[in-house]
Structure 1
Amino acid sequence: MQFVQRIASLISLTLFLLCCSDKTDEAAQFFLRGNVQLQKREYKPAIRYYTEALKKKPDFADAFSNRGLARFRDGDRAGALTDYTKAIETDPNFEAAYYNRADALLDSGNPTAALADLQQIETLYRDSTFYQTRLGDAYVLLNNVSQAQAAYDRAIQLDPRNAEALTNRGALFFNQKQYEPAKADLNAALQLDPNQPEALNNQSLLLAREGRYAEALKAVDRALSLQIGQPYYLNNKAYLLLMLNRPDEALPLLRESLRRNDTNAWAHRNLGLYYLTKGQPAEALSQLQRAEQLDASVDQLYFYLGQAYLATGNRPKACEAWARGSTAEDEQAKKEAQRNCK
């Protein structure tokens, strides 16, 4: 299962609505109408109004930035990045556009460029809890655990009610196998915001780790009710259904998750697990090998890979897989190696 952090536009952006000055009255009116629609989460009308404002005033940096935000929230990541860049080109000192572009870059899987944008505005924003949260997100994607935790710690120090920072620090703790602080952060986040889908999804993983699969399923179902079709949540629900011996219900979820994101190693692992439960080891082996190509650090990957090799009659390869799992401190792989590879 996958702990969700700053992945696939999962966390809301801070909304920057900046007033216009010295603009034509007509452009300003379109801009303000766009702001109203943006606040109402009516993104397509907002985009239309900002576009009209830009027709009247092509160097309207605020309109570029807010249209970028509307496009980002409407699922147009490329359009958002283009607009944020236009805003910055129009006004190189437009700090809000750097912040918003960093967020879109994180969503695009480009933490190096995102960090550069965040560092550009550090002097102004270093005491912002939202800025420190984004900084932590960038460091997570850059695998800089110590810097990520320092940023999340600072974000929470600045605002102990920052549920997003608590959720993301909890994810960081979980990935470091620090389960008790992960649980504490997630519980605190859900007390502040009971309908935060990321925290609900992550709570389901903690419950699953304790073997509480039915409770975990309820939590991830709540997350999916808030973010319908989110591929990581679909994958996690499928895993829980597999653990509850309901593989036929899991399969369509896995297929949909991979349709939405076919580079998700965890979903390939879980599809491999599905095929193992169905007695189709060749198909399982194909999926597990794909998962290994994408991300060899996926939990229990080598345990399942060894099982697939053994089921196809290739004991040496099975023992090799379990040995790799043992090196990665996979207890189940270690037990299989001791049982089958003496």
Structure 2
Amino acid sequence: MGELDRAIADYDQIIELNPRGPSVYFYRGIVNARKDDHDRAVADYTQAMQLAHQDQRGSGDRKAQLQGQADDPAYASSADGQSIALASGDGIALRARGGAYAAKGDFDRAIADYDEAIRLNPRDKEAISARGNAYKTKGDFDRAIADYDQAAQLDARDARVYFHRARVYWQMASLAKSLTDLDQAIQLNPKNAYPVLWREIVARRSDQLSEAAKQLDATKWPAPIINLFLGTMTPEQVRSAADDADPVKKKGQVCEANFYVAERALQSGAKEEALKLFDLAAADCPKTFIEKQAADVELGLLRASR
């Protein structure tokens, strides 16, 4: 229901009644991560693992306990918004804690957690893809590509992997490879607006955006950004549409609005306006947002060309 503070209050009360239940700390960690309180999320995930190791029932029962809760809505999202795929033992909590570390900007610790999750389950494509994201943000593109390649081999129909890899190819200026991956991501999930937007950014061909936009839900964000690129909304209207009563949602949408308005300004030759908006996006976007990482790249390119 989005009432995160009330959820945490209930988890606090459960912990007061039974402070040695590992799954409650894990649940609370997910909620803290959704609140962008990643320090507390890390602490909760760590406590969950520590208590699980103290559980005399052993790691096999811990795995069964977590897998038995797989249908619970609280397990639907990890710290970075990706779905949690059940691995073995501590892999679930390790991956979630890695996401919280990544959201804090501590990518070395995030990678260490992903490494351990992958050691526990070498076929954990969620951990492999998340590690690729961390390597990408650190600028280690070769390792990022290797992880995305492995994730694609494990699940060739995961559109997210192609989208992630496409943005690495974009940063490497391998535009043909980037477009190929974006096309694959769009084919696999035509209702996701972001690969469509990025194809427009990479290809600078709004006719293809117009065709792809027919597949998208015009009533949901980021529809205003699509309309900006189609020329049916102004930057001011997009920024106004980014407002939301949920402060976390608003922060994300304002971040995206600034980035994509900046891209549109760059396409029209308004480099100073683009520079100002990329600065806003780089400063305000959450660290795990693709727009934060892309804004940093665009700022570097723009400043190098001045």
- With normalisation by structure 2, the TM-score equals 0.62
| AA in 2 matched with 1:263 | K
| Equivalent residue, structure 2, for 1:211 | 175
Report if aligned partners of 1:198, 1:223 keep a CA contact under 8 Å in 2. Answer: no
Give the C-alpha shift of residue 150 in structure 1.
1.4
Aligned-partner SS, 1:151 = helix
Match of 2:91 among 129, 138, 142: 129
CA distance in 2, matches of 1:283, 1:123: 50
Does 1:263 pair with 2:246?
no
1:158 equivalent in structure 2: 120
Instruction: Assess, with a 3 A threshold, how the Cα gap between structure 1 residues 80 and 178 changes in structure 2: closer, same or farther.
Output: same
CA pair 299-153 structure 1, distance change in 2 beyond 3 A: closer
Q: 1:253 to 1:193 in 2, by over 3 A?
A: farther
Which residue in the other structure is 2:43 paired with? 116
Seen in structure 2, the aligned counterparts of structure 1 residues 77 and 189 have a Cα distance that, compared at 3 Å, is: farther
Supply the distance in 2 between the matched residues of 1:235 and 1:267 (Cα, whole angstroms): 12
Aligned to 1:242: 201
Equivalent in the alignment of 2:263: 273
Aligned partners of 1:198, 1:96: CA distance in 2, in Å?
28
Note the alpha carbon deviations across 1:19-73, whole angstroms, 9 max, x for none. Answer: xxxxxxxxxxxxxxxxxxxxxxxxxxxxxxxxxxxxxxxxxxxxxxxxxxxx6xx
Is the CA contact (8 Å cut-off) linking 1:235 and 1:253 kept in structure 2? no
Name which of structure 1's ranges 130-139 and 243-252 shifts more when overlaid on structure 2. Answer: 243-252
Matched, 1:252 2:227: yes
Give the percent of matched residue pairs that are identical in Structure 1 and Structure 2.
21
Q: Distance in 2 between matches of 1:246 and 1:184?
A: 29
- How far apart are residue 189 of structure 1 and its match? 1.6
| Counterpart for residue 59 of structure 2 | none
Say whether 1:98 aligns with 2:73. Answer: no
- In structure 2, distance between residues paired with 1:141 and 1:112: 10
**237 and 253 in structure 1: CA distance in 2 versus 1, 3 angstrom threshold:** farther
Q: Could you tell me which residue of structure 2 aligns to residue 291 of structure 1?
A: 281
- Evaluate the alpha carbon distance shift between residue 299 and residue 84 of structure 1 in structure 2; reply closer, same or farther with a 3 A threshold: closer
SS of match in other structure, 1:121: helix
Q: CA RMSD in A?
A: 3.5
Equivalences for residues 59-74 of structure 1 within 5 A: none
Change (3 A) 1:303 1:108: closer
Partner of 2:57: none
Give the 3 Å change call, closer, same or farther, for CA 263–175 of structure 1 in structure 2: same
1:333 maps to a residue whose letter is R
Question: What is the correspondence of 1:157-196 to structure 2 with a 5 Å cutoff?
Answer: 157-196=119-158
Contact 1:269/1:301 (<8 A) preserved: yes
Q: Distance in 2 between matches of 1:203 and 1:111?
A: 26
Query: Do the aligned partners of 1:88 and 1:97 also contact (CA within 8 Å) in 2?
Result: yes
Q: For 1:220, which of 182, 185, 188 is the aligned residue?
A: 185
The residue identity in structure 2 corresponding to 1:110 is D
Separation (CA, whole Å) in 2 of partners of 1:263 and 1:165: 26
Higher alpha-carbon deviation: 163-172 or 198-207 = 198-207
What is the alpha-carbon distance in structure 1 between the residues aligned to residue 38 and residue 296 of structure 2?
29
Output one character per residue of 1:68-124: Cα deviation in whole Å (capped at 9) or x when no partner.
Answer: xxx6xxx66566545544543443222112112212322332111111211222324
Question: How far is 1:266 from its partner?
Answer: 5.1
Give the aligned partner of residue 10 of structure 1: none
Cα 1:218–1:302 change in 2 (3 A) is closer
Shift, 1:171, TM fit: 0.6
Deviates more, 1:143-152 or 1:262-271: 262-271
**Larger Rg, first or second structure (1 or 2):** 1
Secondary structure, in 3 states, of the residue corresponding to 1:113? helix
When residues 90 and 76 of structure 1 are mapped into structure 2, their CA distance, relative to the original with a 3 A threshold, is same
Contact kept? 2:90, 2:117, Cα under 8 Å: yes
Q: Is 2:158–2:188's contact at 8 Å kept on the other side of the alignment?
A: yes
Structure-2 change in CA distance of 1:196 and 1:205 (3 Å): same
8 A Cα contact 1:135 1:148, kept in partner: yes
* Runs (5+) with no aligned partner, structure 1: 1-70, 305-324, 338-342
Q: Is the 8 A contact 1:125 1:131 kept in 2?
A: no
